[in-house]
């Protein structure tokens, strides 16, 4: 498999847990083991959209138990004989090789994955966010030669980019250091929130400047957060900002 692989450095490794749950998008080539009409292929593709059951393959690094995963879209882009070029958007943890195998079984001819490329991982999209290892080496050497920090910024992005798809809760400066010490976020510390937050959602807690403070689990909806005057609104799960970045204004 080729394509996007987000890599985190130093403190930014803390945001990887958010990326692991993010959806993925792939382009691949499915090789059929027999001849099937285009109409039948489209029909079977449509059957695999939505919730599906999957059992991880033998070589998987997880327990081989049946689990449910969501296929957001599954499109046939091109057919060349028994080769099918397809694009799929799916929930994290979906095995595309197994998906192809199962489609082949339903078609009745069998199939295997010939090629696969990941073109999206959460907020990171191919061509917009990616560099090759050759690019990294070149830009790094240019930075060493010139001292121009812009060379590093071509491939080292702020960790906030990894949180683009998470719903966000913005907090007062006076609440930042308390969160950095592991305190849960209460209603008085919130200035504004994004719409669509529901209890149990993973959210990003940000400063008014858009700096990542922590990841947390919402215990209230957007509407409840806006109306509340006291009580815990978000349980802090993972602190991202070093303590002392903002002045301590709590006892």
Predicted confidence at residue 65, as pLDDT, reads: 85
Strand partners, 131: none
Domain 14-125 has CATH 2.40.160.40: no
Q: Sign of dihedral through CA atoms 17, 19, 25, 26?
A: negative
Mean predicted confidence (pLDDT) in 132-144? 94
Mean predicted confidence (pLDDT) in 186-204? 95
Strand partners, 79: 84
Q: Which SS3 state, helix, strand or coil, does residue 249 take?
A: coil
Mean predicted confidence (pLDDT) in 63-78? 92
User: At residue 13, does pLDDT exceed 80?
Assistant: yes
Predicted confidence at residue 251, as pLDDT, reads: 65
pTM, to two decimals: 0.85
pLDDT digits (tens, 9 = 90+) for 43-54: 999 999 999 999
Q: Tokens 């998906």 map to which residue?
A: 99
Q: Tokens 């449509």 map to which residue?
A: 46
Predicted confidence at residue 249, as pLDDT, reads: 77
13, 90, 1, 12: which is closest to 51 by C-alpha? 90
Domain ranges of the chain: 14-125, 166-239
Q: Using CA atoms, how far apart are residues 214 and 129, in angstroms rounded to an integer? A: 23
Confirm whether 14-125 and 166-239 share one CATH topology. Answer: no
User: At residue 247, does pLDDT exceed 70?
Assistant: yes
Strand partners, 30: 84, 113
CATH code, 166-239: 2.30.130.10
Q: Using CA atoms, how far apart are residues 146 and 144, in angstroms rounded to an integer? A: 6
């Amino acid at each position: 498999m080729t394509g996007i692989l987000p890599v985190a450095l130093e403190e930014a490794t803390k945001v990887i847990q958010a990326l692991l749950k993010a959806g993925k998008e792939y382009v691949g080539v499915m090789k059929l083991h027999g001849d099937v009409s285009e109409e039948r292929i489209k029909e079977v593709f449509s059957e695999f959209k939505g919730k599906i059951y999957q059992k991880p393959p033998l070589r998987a690094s997880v327990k081989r138990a049946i689990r449910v995963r969501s296929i957001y879209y599954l499109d046939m882009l091109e057919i060349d004989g028994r080769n099918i070029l397809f694009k799929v958007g799916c929930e994290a943890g979906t095995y595309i090789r197994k998906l192809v195998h199962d489609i082949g079984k339903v078609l009745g001819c069998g199939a295997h994955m010939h090629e696969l490329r990941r073109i999206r991982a959460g907020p990171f999209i191919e061509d917009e966010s990616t560099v090759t290892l050759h690019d990294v080496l070149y830009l790094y050497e240019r930075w060493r030669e010139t001292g121009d920090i812009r060379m590093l910024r071509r491939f080292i992005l702020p960790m906030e980019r990894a949180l683009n798809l998470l719903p966000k809760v913005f907090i007062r400066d006076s609440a930042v250091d308390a969160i950095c010490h592991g305190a849960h976020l209460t209603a008085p510390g919130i200035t504004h929130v994004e719409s669509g937050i529901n209890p149990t959602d993973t959210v990003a807690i940000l400063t008014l400047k858009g700096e990542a403070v922590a990841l947390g689990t919402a215990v209230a909806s957007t509407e409840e957060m806006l109306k509340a005057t006291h009580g815990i609104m978000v349980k802090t799960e993972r602190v991202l900002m070093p303590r002392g970045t903002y002045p301590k204004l709590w006892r």
